[in-house]
Amino acid sequence: MNAKQKTAKLLLSDMVYLRQHSLLPDNLINELTSKMQAAYPASSLEIEREFAEPIRAALTERLAVAGFDHDDEPNEEGRFLENLIDRLFIP
């Protein structure tokens, strides 16, 4: 990962998944929706660390609750969440 990275990319498909599965609090979904609408017709959104961190925190909480099977292996949702949490990391 580039040490000079200042933003992370959130894909439209990520946003759709997050909305369909109610994985974020309403305030974050509303802000993401506004940002995606402003970026239309782009299929992704560059977000800054200040916005990425609350999203990562909410996803991390969800991961702990629903992201693992009975053998503590990531399930489908867990793999998605881990991937997105990693992609939204901005040093």
Indicate the pTM of the whole model.
Answer: 0.87
Write phi, then psi, for 38 (nearest 5 degrees). -65, -30
The 10s digit of each residue's pLDDT in 8-66 is 999 999 999 998 989 899 999 999 999 999 999 999 999 999 999 999 999 999 999 99
Give first-to-last CA distance, the chain, whole Å.
Answer: 9
The set of residues, in sequence order, having a beta carbon less than 8 Å from that of 77 and lying 6+ positions away, is 21, 62, 66, 67
Q: Where are the beta strands (DSSP E) in 21-80?
A: 44-48
Structural Rg of the chain based on CA atoms: 13
